[in-house]
Chains A and B, each alone.
Chain A
Amino acid sequence: MRKITKEQVEDLAKLARLGLTDAEKTSLAREMTVILEYSMLLDEVDTKGVQPTSQTTELKNIFRKDCKVISDIDINEKLQNAPVKEKSFIKVKKVLE
């Protein structure tokens, strides 16, 4: 496997909207390379035709009735943890410049 470069770390951080310091970028490139190299162990496993597993207890899709859900939690309470508010809204910076 090729090494994870600092540039690659920067590209991934952009996708993840994650601010990183220069030192963090350098150490992440090194650590990710080591961890991903270790995961290459899986190359020796023949997985041809094997179905992937993401659910272990054989549940199938669970549906609920498509109806209005009435919450007993008051709107102000719902907003109590929001950093910036205006009236009963969460305030964000401009989305379209």
Chain B
Amino acid sequence: MANRTIIELNNKIEQKTITPSQILQECSQEIDRAEDELNAFVTVLPKESLEAAKKSGKRAELGKRLSKLDGIPVGIKDVFCTKGIRTTASSKMLDDFIPIYDATVVKKITDAGAVMIGKNNCDAWAHGASTENSDYGVTKNPWDLSRVPGGSSGGSAAAVAAGECLFSIGSDTGGSIRQPAGFCGVVGLKPTYGRVSRYGLIAMGSSLDCVGPIAMTTEDVALILEVIAGHDEKDATSLNLPVPKYSDKLTKSIKGKKIGWVNEFYETGLNDEIIKALEAVREVYASLGADFIEIKLPHAKYSIPVYYLIQPAEVSSNLGRYDGIKYGHSAAKSENLIDHYFRSRDEGLGAEAKRRIMLGTFVLSAGYYDAYYKKAMQVRTLIKQDFEKAFESVDIILAPVAPTTAFKIGEKVDNPLQMYLADVFTAMVNLSGNPALSLPCAFDKQKLPIGMQLIGKHFEEETVLNFGHQYEKATEKVVWRNNKTVI
């Protein structure tokens, strides 16, 4: 199923040249063949998916398909609650946790007829940029098995790239959809904050968390977004705005549109091949008639320190609920109630979660709050204002996704700060709340995908997807599009 798209398979189901069961079988074969090595899933659902595919096939026969996603195999990052199906957040803390309800996004996807094939691996609690923090083992990059797939939605991106499913639903707090999409050569969208409901998403940083799709093409992403976007009473921060028909707006001409280019992004620490790739993207857009305007985001360089103060603060609050009492890991032996909390949390949480809880507790504690947390929230305002100002003169901003291509497994595990710097081009967009798309634009000399990022105005996923699709159409015939994963 690698390199096939939802659009293509949807047409074939409509024309009755393929059935949902046949599609599922092909994906399941990929899983059987690749999964031992790849480890992109925490849980695979052979029985449930077979059942769902059969039902979908019946609907197709009767001409009563629920949506274009009806019968399409989907992976769900294991941070979304799935009713009756184990949901671990890739942490031993939730090793045997069975949710009693579906996350809104899961409900929308399954109500649309998509076939849930499994729960994708990720960094535990979505903390990380490599999936190395998963308590269920690292996911490998399908382009080079000695490298990470990125993270935290690494299992989602790897599974899509390897053809184990056609799309996956991920979450993005500081780059967790876009960076793995970039590392694995697939397309990932972080919508505007609130565009997709967070209800049933195991919370990480509540003011930053966004839910979005990972798929093979921008067209597929547009289709999925149409299904999952929209207001939800159960998430007070979800946006009460109409959801455009994104897939109808992809072919609009971008002639005369203005693209923002930030020189500072290319000045420090960015790998040469990525710079060249982004310059080539610029030429493609110029040939489509778009104009480039140099813009400044003077506070963007502070996004990592701001992000790594605000996000741990929110993490420390959100992980407070894992106390060994209501659900999740509970210490077998403890002396009293307080001791029970200490032991359950010690045994259930991994090194990165502990680090973030500790950092968050520090920056929120009396005496340090103003100097760290409040300061970070103030600089967040300045970062957001930089974007607002930039968008007065441009329609979209072109940026790298990450400073490098996929790095080696183990390369950054002993240096948390190095790992955090992988988020340098993505976290700023979570701080400002804007939508951003990550899509492949080249391969480097080591045959690893290079991603590009398109950042749009608040609520304008439409523009971001339009620009992404136009780029894909213009580069349809480039040689690297025929590259194959090694698995």
Interfacial residues, chain A to chain B (CB-CB below 8 A): 4, 9, 12-13, 15-21, 24, 28, 31-32, 34-36, 38-42, 45, 47, 50-57, 59, 62, 64, 73, 77-78, 80-84, 90, 92-95, 97
Contacts and interface: CB of A to CB of B under 8 A. Distances in A.
A17 B237 contact: no
Contact of A24 (B207, B323, B354, B377): B354
Contacts of A64: 233
Contact of B378 (A41, A47, A93, A97): A47
Nearest to A83: B330
Nearest to B458: A57
24 contacts: A16-B316, A17-B345, A18-B342, A18-B346, A19-B347, A21-B346, A28-B358, A31-B417, A32-B355, A32-B358, A34-B417, A35-B417, A36-B362, A36-B372, A38-B417, A39-B376, A40-B305, A45-B375, A52-B378, A53-B378, A55-B207, A59-B194, A81-B96, A93-B337
A50 B382 contact: yes
B354 A28 contact: yes
Given A9-B358, A77-B100, A84 B330 contact: yes
Nearest to B332: A83
Contacts of B365: 12, 15
Nearest to A31: B416
Contact of A35 (B349, B379, B416): B416
Interface of B: 96-98, 100-101, 192-194, 207, 233, 236-237, 239, 299, 302, 304-306, 308-309, 316, 320, 323-328, 330, 334, 336-338, 340-343, 345-347, 349, 351, 354-355, 357-359, 361-362, 365, 372, 374-382, 384, 416-417, 420, 431-433, 458-459
Given A47-B378, A93-B340, A18 B345 contact: yes
Given A36-B359, A57-B237, 6 more contacts: A17-B342, A36-B372, A41-B305, A47-B382, A50-B381, A83-B324
B193 A56 contact: yes
B299 A55 contact: no
A50 B233 CA distance: 32
Contacts of A53: 377-378, 380-381, 384
A24 B351 CA distance: 8
A92 B331 CA distance: 12
Contact of B337 (A45, A51, A95): A95
A38 B376 CA distance: 13
Nearest to B432: A56
B62 to A, nearest CB: 30
Given A53-B380, A94-B336, A39 B374 contact: no
Contact of A20 (B101, B337, B346, B381): B346
A45 B346 contact: no
A18 B357 contact: yes
Nearest to B334: A93
